[in-house]
A and B are shown apart, each in its own frame.
Chain A
Amino acid sequence: EAGVVQSPRYKIIEKKQPVAFWCNPISGHNTLYWYLQNLGQGPELLIRYENEEAVDDSQLPKDRFSAERLKGVDSTLKIQPAELGDSAVYLCASRSGNTGELFFGEGSRLTVL
């Protein structure tokens, strides 16, 4: 069974440029998460989807961040425009139902210059 797939693995951009990350969860997993992980810290939730509905986006900085999961399968997280402080690893995770463990992708490491 394929795991959670994320791309790109690494991205280097200049500040004020846009960037997008893509995530394909494990087949059949209805719940999808985007987390932000700064160096030396734990993952922080950005947004959670149940199928195509964003059920928790309270931590998403909506002035520059957006996300979509149009068909309830794969998802895209976008930053426009990127700022220096956005440099971090963006993690995608999925799970089946509400109570199981999260399965994580390898993450997308963003460097903003």
Chain B
Amino acid sequence: AQKVTQAQTEISVVEKEDVTLDCVYETRDTTYYLFWYKQPPSGELVFLIRRNSFDEQNEISGRYSWNFQKSTSSFNFTITASQVVDSAVYFCALSEGDTGGFKTIFGAGTRLFVKA
């Protein structure tokens, strides 16, 4: 069965601090996809990144970076030099390919507060 765990319910940082959001997943498939979405106060979920199970290369996009480690079933998200505009709820998601029919399930989310 597929499962996504985001153990951090809320994180509060001061602007310019670095922050890492943790995501641990469970799947029996060999083909799967991992995602991060951002949900600002306006409510619409915005896609940030997708990773497939065969590509463990870490990725950096501006102040955002992602660390995918299959050995620990983790897909962590780091924001460098956080800004107030980063305040939102962040969701990690998993989509299984082999047996899951590509159903996408979400973690419970981590609410990030960035204070000025």
Q: Contacts A33-B104, A42-B107, A42-B109 known; A99 to B95 CB distance under 8 Å?
A: yes
Q: How many residues of A contact B (CB 8 A)?
A: 24
The reply to whether B47 and A106 contact each other, CB–CB distance below 8 Å, is: no
Q: Whole-angstrom distance between the alpha carbons of A89 and B107 in the complex?
A: 16
Which residue of chain A has the shortest Cβ distance to B36 in the bound complex? A101
Q: Whole-angstrom distance between the alpha carbons of A40 and B43 in the complex?
A: 12
The reply to whether B47 and A45 contact each other, CB–CB distance below 8 Å, is: no
| A106 in complex: contacting residue of B43, B52, B108, B109, CB < 8 Å | B43
Q: Contacts A101-B35, A101-B50, A105-B44 known; A41 to B109 CB distance under 8 Å?
A: yes
Q: Whole-angstrom distance between the alpha carbons of A103 and B45 in the complex?
A: 8
Q: Whole-angstrom distance between the alpha carbons of A110 and B104 in the complex?
A: 23
Q: Whole-angstrom distance between the alpha carbons of A56 and B101 in the complex?
A: 9
| B45 in complex: contacting residue of A43, A48, A55, CB < 8 Å | A43
For chain B, the bracket of interface size reads: 20 to 34
* A100 CB–B CB distance under 8 Å: yes
* B72 CB–A CB distance under 8 Å: no
B88 to chain A, nearest CB (A): 13
B34 to chain A, nearest CB (A): 11
Max count, chain B CB within 10 A of own CB: residue among A33, A40, A102, A103: A102
Which residues 7-57 of A have a CB within 8 angstroms of B?
33, 40-45, 48, 55-56
| A41 in complex: contacting residue of B44, B46, B103, B108, CB < 8 Å | B108
Q: Contacts A56-B103, A104-B45 known; A99 to B108 CB distance under 8 Å?
A: no
Which residues 72-88 of B have a CB within 8 angstroms of A?
none
- Listed in ascending order, the chain A residues whose CB lies under 8 Å from chain B are 33, 40-45, 48, 55-56, 89, 91, 93, 98-107, 109
- Listed in ascending order, the chain B residues whose CB lies under 8 Å from chain A are 4, 6, 33, 35, 37, 42-47, 50, 52, 91, 95, 97, 101-109
